Each structure stands twice: as structure tokens, then as C-alpha cells.
Amino acid sequence: MSKPFLILALLVVAVLAWIATRPAAPKPFAADYQRALQVHPGSNTAIDVGLESFAAVYADLTHPDIADRVARLYADPVYFNDSLKTFQSRQPLVEYMKATGAMLDDSSVEIEQVLRDGSDVFVRWNMRFKSSALGREINSESIGMTHLRFDPEGRIVLHQDFWDSAAGLYRNLPVVGYALKKIDRNMAD
């Protein structure tokens, strides 16, 4: 291992260890999500159409026209939180998903189960993606659940993901993943 890389890795580990010992601040997305539940009541008239579109878009985020697909899938305004980013309008979400797709070599989301309660839809899924970082291939698999609400045309007005982004994403990154695994081992001792 080169000396600059070792220094960088130690610095990242030190910063993450310091962060891990600090009291956790309340996550602002919880209040945002509660507000979004009030603002976006959803409709149950086009859930099947919306679910079909959701499955098609997330089946392959690397598709060349992912931006157009995402723009058609989501209403504006929209509440979107994937545990990494939160958006209240469609265009920044479209740009985010386009950038995400461009970073991936391959991706898929398989829907395992769909539960409905009025206008609320809960989708349990399995996500896989391939990418690379610092010359290293990353193969990730994670599980999660998404709370969806649709408008009368079947476009998503509320999208809240529930998944462990640290396990599904960050642990697969070269320096950060090592640091997180080290913190996990230290906390288990």
C-alpha cells in the first residue's frame, strides 16, 4: 500500500471514528417525511399503472433514456427521499437519477412484494448494482422497502425509501468501506 493512500485511509478512519462517538443529531428527513404525508395524500385510481412504471424504470437505471423515464414516472411537485438525498421537485430528481445511472455499469431492482393500504403502497425490493471506484469493481446487493403514493395519472407524488445505505452502498467503497468495517469491529468488541 502506498504511503499517501495509507495516510488518507488513516485520516478517513480517524474522522469516521470521531463522528461515530459524537451524539447523533436528529435526522431532518423524519419531519420532512411526516409533512410530505400530509401534503401528498395520493390517489388509489392508478396504482397499477404507477407500479408498472416504477418497476420498469428501476429495473435498469443505466438505460440510455433514464432521465426521460424518471421525468415521466414522477409528478411535480414530488417528495422523494432515498436515504441519501431528498427532493421536493421533479427536475433535480431527474438530474440526480441521470447522474446515478451514469456512475453504474449495471443495475437492477427486483420487486419481491407489494402491499397496499388505500393510497399507500409499500414495495419490498432487492437491488443489485455494479460500478467501480479507484480502479476496483464494486458489486453490491441490498434490500429495502419503498413507500409510494401516486397521483390520479399514476405518477409518483411520494417516494420514501427505507434501506441501509451504509450496508448497501458505502461499505463497498474502497477507503470508506474499510473504515466502516473497522468501526463495526471496534463497536462489537
- CATH number of the domain residue 98 falls in: 3.10.450.50
pLDDT along the chain (189 residues), means of 10: 53 55 63 97 97 98 97 98 95 97 96 98 96 82 96 98 71 48 59
Q: Supply the pLDDT for residue 176.
A: 45
β-sheet bridge partners, residue 180:
none
Stated pTM of the model: 0.77
What pLDDT, on the 0 to 100 scale, is given for residue 15? 54
pLDDT value at residue 23: 56
Number of domains making up the chain:
1
Q: Is residue 35 part of a domain?
A: yes
Residue whose grid cell is 404507477: 50
Domain of residue 95: give its range.
Answer: 24-173
Per-residue model confidence (pLDDT) at position 13:
55
Give the model's pLDDT for residue 171: 46
Is position 161 within any domain? yes
